[in-house]
Structure 1
Amino acid sequence: MAAHTKATRRMLPALALVVGLVSFDFAFIAPGANPSRPAMPRLERAGPFPEQVDAGTSAPRARRAAAVAALALLVLVPRARAVEEMSDAAIAEAAKSLSNFEQRVLLEAATEPAFTGKTTNGYAWDNKEEGTYVSPISGQPLFSSKAKYNSGTGWPSFWAPVSSDTVLERTDPGDMDNLPKMFWRTEVLDRASGTHLGHVFDDGPPPTGKRYCINAAALKFVPGTAPEGDPKQASKWGPLSLFS
């Protein structure tokens, strides 16, 4: 009941906006409907726009009513969230099936030694099979084998995620606390669970110039047809300015 009341309160400003638009629309397109309200002047527009010049006709009235209805839907219907955030309890439950080291990587931002990593289901860091790398906590698709490349660093590397909706990027809080700004990195997390994946750098190959350097222990590999790599999903972050 409380959640329903809260949602209703959030919708009140939108309802007020729509009611105001509807009231304005009827006052404009049907000035003669209310004897106490003086007729409003017709629109003056260049060019032959009969539906705008003659505001009293039924056709423009229908068009405006339809436009108001469409706007009402746009305002009142909430946008579906691309990824639902997991609760702490759900994250803890999902982590129970992982090894202690995998939990340290995902939950405490530990880093696996280079050239040694394995996914949570046993695939080597340099796995070359086609498939999708998903979060072992949320199950969200994170990276495609079609965007994977050999960076020579010893960690799984990708030039873009499957979707910018499933990953979250931020300045690494640990770096901010312990390092000069010139050494701050951009951390990459699974958006649904907030768990640590790795970092993204600006020294990758075309088509994005990005290197998503990800711990294998933070991934689960699902073999099969992989989604095409999409450069538009890559990070928009650039090199950090030393003086910003």
Structure 2
Amino acid sequence: MLVKQLDSNQLAQRDASEKELVALGADVLEHLPVVNNRTPAEVRNRLTRVRAALLKIAVEAATRPATVSLDGEMNVLEALKKITEQTGNAFVDYRERFNQEEKNPKIKVSLEKVPFWQALDTVLDAAELSLYDYDDEASALAFTNRDGAALKRTGQAFYSGLFRLEPSRIEAVRNLKNPASRSLRLTVDVAWEPRPIVLQQPLAEVEAKDEKTSWNSMGAKVNWSFPSKGPTPGSKWIFR
């Protein structure tokens, strides 16, 4: 009915129907008719706008970070189970694979609607656990005991929506025979929530920048090479 009213003789009714379709939310997308050469121009234009608006709503919902609420004293496995129940993000214990002691210590936390990654880092640190970056899980995060010399996870990363970004290595190289030949390489570990989502980001559109300079990725290599004139000391990096 609403789609038919997009071709109404009355402008007010066409506008109202378009707004109502958008207000129904992203679930309407699969029910919208396919636009073809027979579709009236007015309906085609309005359906295109409706579809674009609903896709934007769907993307925002899918990429919105999950939140966690935990309060009180509980063992860490119970805390991880509650995080899974609240976010859909699953965990796998890899400690047996590495012959590590499978402790289940009690932790005390107070988290109220905290984004997933900040909440997880808090829980893992409280139990002296860490994530294993080289697991073979398709839709879960693997955890192990934290190495005794490793830093805590909190305070080491930047958070942006679904993503956790942590600088893990910085390498500066200068050729002593040719002072003009120098390079700076920053390695950033990027993790995202493992719940079922689909994200596509062409690497050519990924950009890194500091206060003065920006760099675009060149080609399809994940390992970027930046110009020899690296960021100035104290610079803040932004990856997007």
Structure (1/2) with the larger strand percentage: 2
Structure (1/2) with the larger helix percentage: 1
Taking CA–CA contacts closer than 8 Å with sequence separation of 6 or more, which of the two structures ends up with the larger relative contact order?
A: 1
- TM-score surpassing 0.5? no
TM-score by length of 2: 0.28
TM-score by length of 1: 0.27
Whichever of the two has the greater Rg, that structure is 1
